[in-house]
């Protein structure tokens, strides 16, 4: 029951987010990140992968949810859509780490656990990912994420208009997702 209520809440938050409500979106992503972290840990444990880059997979999954949110059909529940994305990214991540996925991975992602699992590892590697962005994208993504500045402040500091900052931020996030994915082929 709790699972169902939570998924209904997620769907409502995602609907608001797609309408442009950044506060609702933040609440959704925070809630999702806790569940994704717990699910990813279980997936890594099942396949004996080292736990130190669970956070990498959580971030890659959050980026995928963000960049693909227009593929969620608003008439459908959000939970199965999130689980399908999480499964896709978890399988990718495990393959990248040389695990052969033979047993069905469904079991670890049957539901996204409600337990709160806070991030306890801040990987040095994540910093490396930002450093791979080009100059302006790197400045903008870093200012908004790590330094927590508003788009307006960043625009003022860089002498750009807000629209241009928004475009650069979006492109930067897309580039981050591509950098994550490139790890697959290495």
Partner 1 sequence: MKTDDLITALAADAQSVSMPIGRALALAVAGGAVGAAILFAIMLGMRPDVATAVTSLRFLFKFVVTLSLLASALGLVWNLARPGAIPVGWLLALAGVPALLAIGSVAEMLTVPPADWGQRLTGHNSFMCLILIPTLSAIPFAALLLALRQGAPSHPMLTGAVAGLVAAGIGATLYASHCPDDSPFFVATWYVIASAFMAMLGAAIGEHFLRW
User: Helix and strand tally (H, E) in the chain?
Assistant: 8, 0
Of the ranges 5-13, 45-53, 55-63, 96-104, which one interacts with partner 1 (CB under 8 A)? 55-63
- Comparison of 49 and 89: residue with beta carbon closer to partner 1: 89
Task: Give the whole-angstrom CA distance, residue 100 versus residue 91.
Answer: 9
Binding piece for partner 1, criterion CB under 8 A, among 3-11, 41-49, 73-81, 93-101: 73-81
Q: Which stretch binds partner 1 (CB under 8 A): 27-35, 43-51, 95-103, 108-116?
A: 27-35
The answer to the question of residue 15 lying near partner 1 (CB under 8 A) is no
Q: Report the C-alpha gap between 69 and 15 in whole angstroms.
A: 10
Supply the DSSP string of 1-41, one letter for each residue: -HHHHHHHHHHHHHHHHHTT-HHHHHHHHHHHHHHHHHHHH
Residues of this chain, 103-122, that bind partner 1 according to CB under 8 A: 119, 122
3-state secondary structure 151-178: HHHHHHHHCCCHHHHHHHHHHHHHHHHH
Q: Per CB under 8 A, does 57 bind partner 1?
A: no
Q: Interface with partner 1 by CB under 8 A: which residues?
A: 17-18, 20-23, 25-26, 29-30, 33, 37, 55, 58-59, 62-64, 66-73, 80-81, 84-85, 87-88, 119, 122, 126-127, 129-130, 141, 144-146, 148, 150-151, 166, 169-170, 173, 177, 181, 184
């Amino acid at each position: 029951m709790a699972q169902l209520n939570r998924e209904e809440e997620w769907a409502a938050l995602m609907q608001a987010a797609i309408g442009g409500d950044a506060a609702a979106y933040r609440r959704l992503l925070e809630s999702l990140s806790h569940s994704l972290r717990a699910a990813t840990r279980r997936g890594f444990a099942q396949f004996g992968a080292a736990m130190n880059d669970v956070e990498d997979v959580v971030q890659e999954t959050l980026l995928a949810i963000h960049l693909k949110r227009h593929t969620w059909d608003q008439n459908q529940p959000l939970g199965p859509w999130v689980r399908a994305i999480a499964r896709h990214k978890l399988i990718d991540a495990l393959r990248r780490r040389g695990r052969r996925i033979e047993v069905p991975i469904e079991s670890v992602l049957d539901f996204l656990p409600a337990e709160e699992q806070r991030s306890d590892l801040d990987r040095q590697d994540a910093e490396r990912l930002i450093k791979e962005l080009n100059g302006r994208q790197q400045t903008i993504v870093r200012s908004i994420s790590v330094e927590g500045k508003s788009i307006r402040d960043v625009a003022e500091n860089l002498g750009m208009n807000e629209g241009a900052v928004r475009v650069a931020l979006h492109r930067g996030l897309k580039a981050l997702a591509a950098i994550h994915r490139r790890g697959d082929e290495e």
